[in-house]
Amino acid sequence: MPISASREKPVKPYEEYPLTPHPCGQWAKRINRRLYYFGPWEDWEHALAVYMARIDDIRAGRLTKSRVTLERQSSEPHQGITVGTLVNHFLTAKNRAVERAELKRRTFGEYQSVCVRMTAEFGKTQLVSRLAPADFAKLKDVLAQGVKKKVWIGELSKRIGIARSVFLYGKENHLHSEVFFGSEFVRPNKKQMRQDKAKRRRSGKMQKLFTSDEIRMLLDEASVSMRAMIFLAINGGMGNTDIAEMTFHVLKLDQAMIDYPRPKSGIERKILLWPETVRAMREAIESRPKPATTEFKDIVLLTQSGNLWTRYAEKYDEQGRFVKGTAIGPLTSEFGRLMDTLGIRQKGRNFYALRHTFRTLVDDLGDRGAVDTIMGHENPNDMRTHYVEEMNLNRLRRVVNRVYNWLYPREPWPRREEKQDA
């Protein structure tokens, strides 16, 4: 029915109200060069609710009708949850896991980063029930983008896994019903991972091995602390975080051994140390600076300012809620400067490449159990990880001997006889 010409248009209920009164008696807004109507003048709150619920669909081209309505909620409790609400539930649960020490704050930061990208792509007010496979195909393209170029396939696989886990959490906690990702929004398979790795290696972007000459050069030029860390990395395949968080109670220099669970995975590991490694560690401990805080009093290796060599800086808002985290790695930067000094820096090679070098050198020994014990790995398909309670030291010595004899080919590490367990 036509609106009387004498009827006056209402004023907006408040200045930031996104809709405009149209002469036809509806609250309206022009979006993508098309005019959409959201409800009668008499009920501006309902019109706003319709607008907020449908704006993402309109912008994405999923809704083209000029007169937009808000369908009545189904009796099913899962119908109305939005992407923004689901993400908030998910991150709150993960934050509780961090507080219970079940999840690393750095991992939480990775979850949060993917959730921010996903929310920006779908829209906070987008109903989960309205997401279609085409939406997830677009999200995959968004997740593939890095700062300046596409991320490598391993990072993309991790991001897709995190995004899928958000909706799995929602389903398991009865926040929404089944979500259909479609055939495109899947993690890359093993064949794709191998092909990408081979392509990167051929292009020179994945050279993660050092020669024995290069490592000896690094050891000769390194500072006292850096020398100790290089020895730990090539002696036992220790990574940046492994070294940065190592405490005195796991370091048994009198026994030339490190015995502790790996911080990243919690898997028990045991490393037999070379005499050179023990010597380097003793020198580093003697010159160890005063810890910046009491929190670091048990950490073995510290920077000159008394901080961790690799740490995760956290930022909180005024209410004390976690905002974001940033990895701060003086270990990586100082090692990079050392490589620059020696003229051996190559794209893709960093401190962690020492761990790759260690693993590559011992790969053909045929004793994966001993190698995994040293590196802190676990093979879920191997029943030995469940039944074997203790690793024979001679097996561990055979592994570290292989790397030692490669690093010092004319100075074999003297074997020390150990009594084998009965």
**Model confidence pLDDT, tens digit, residues 382-407:** 555 555 556 789 999 999 999 999 99
User: Is 65 or 290 the better-scoring residue by pLDDT?
Assistant: 290
- Tokens 């896994």: give the residue: 161
Structure tokens at 247: 């405490």
Domain ranges for the chain, please list them.
83-202, 212-407
**Alpha-carbon gap, residue 150 to 200, rounded angstroms:** 13
Instruction: Report whether pLDDT(91) > 90.
Output: yes
pLDDT at residue 76, rounded to an integer: 41
Neighbour tally for 74: CB within 10 Å: 10
Least confidently predicted of 179-188, 262-271, 312-321, 331-340? 312-321
Half-sphere exposure of 104 (CA within 13 A, CB side): 14
The yes-or-no verdict on residue 412 having pLDDT over 60 is: no
Q: Residue 78 has what pLDDT?
A: 41
Structure tokens at 301: 């290796």
Highest mean pLDDT among 325-334, 343-352, 387-396: 343-352
Residue 417 pLDDT: 39
Mean pLDDT of all residues in the chain?
A: 84
Taken in order 58, 64, 66, 72, the sign of the CA dihedral is negative
Which three-class secondary structure state does DSSP give residue 372? helix
Given its phi and psi angles, is residue 237 left (phi above 0), alpha (psi -120 to 50 degrees) or beta? left
- pLDDT for residue 46 is more than 50: yes
Average pLDDT over residues 342-354: 91
CA 342 to chain centre: 31
**Among residues 154, 148, 145, which one has the least CA distance to residue 121?**
145
Which of these ranges, 209-223, 386-400, 406-420, has the smallest mean pLDDT? 406-420
How far is 295 from 298, CA to CA, in rounded Å? 8
The answer to whether residues 25 and 2 touch, using CB atoms and an 8 Å cutoff, is no
Over the stretch 351-364, which tens digit does the pLDDT of each residue have?
999 999 999 999 98
pLDDT of residue 320: 54
pLDDT mean over 281-305: 95
pLDDT at 418: 40
Q: Decide: helix, strand or coil at residue 29.
A: strand
Residue range 329-349: mean pLDDT, rounded: 91
Report the C-alpha gap between 183 and 140 in whole angstroms: 12
Structure confidence at residue 2 (pLDDT): 47
CA distance linking residue 106 with residue 214, whole number of Å? 32
Residue 111: other Cβ atoms inside 10 A: 21
Beta bridge partners of 259: 270
Confidence of residue 157 (pLDDT cuts 50, 70, 90): very high
Q: Is the pLDDT of residue 29 over 50?
A: yes
Task: Check pLDDT > 90 for residue 188.
Answer: no
Could you give the CA distance from residue 151 to residue 139 in angstroms, rounded to a whole number?
A: 14
> Has domain 212-407 been given CATH number 2.60.120.10?
no
- Read off the pLDDT of each residue in 247-273 and give the average, rounded to a whole number: 84
For the stretch 92-137, pLDDT in tens is 999 899 888 888 877 888 899 899 999 999 999 899 988 999 999 9
pLDDT at 291 over 70: yes
Q: With 0-12 CB in 10 A as exposed, 13-18 as middle and 19+ as buried, what is 404?
A: buried
Residue 282 has pLDDT above 80, yes or no: yes
The structure tokens 């750095």 sit at 106
Cα distance between residue 51 and residue 35, in whole Å: 12
Share of the chain above pLDDT 90, in %: 48
Q: What is the pLDDT of residue 189?
A: 85
* pLDDT-derived band at 162, boundaries 50, 70, 90: very high
Identify whether the C-beta of residue 34 lies closer than 8 Å to the C-beta of residue 46: no
Q: Quick one: tokens of 32?
A: 């993508």
Are 123 and 62 in contact, with CB atoms under 8 Å apart? no
pLDDT of residue 16: 83
pLDDT band at 348 (very low <50, low <70, confident <90, very high): confident
pLDDT of 212 reads 95
CA torsion angle for 269, 272, 276, 279 (degrees, to 10)? 70
What is the pLDDT at residue 32? 84
pLDDT value for 347 = 80
Q: How far is CA 418 from the centre of its chain?
A: 41
Give residue for tokens 């398991």.
172
Q: What is the dihedral of CA 139, 144, 145, 146, to 10 degrees?
A: 130
Q: What's the rounded mean pLDDT across residues 338-366? A: 92
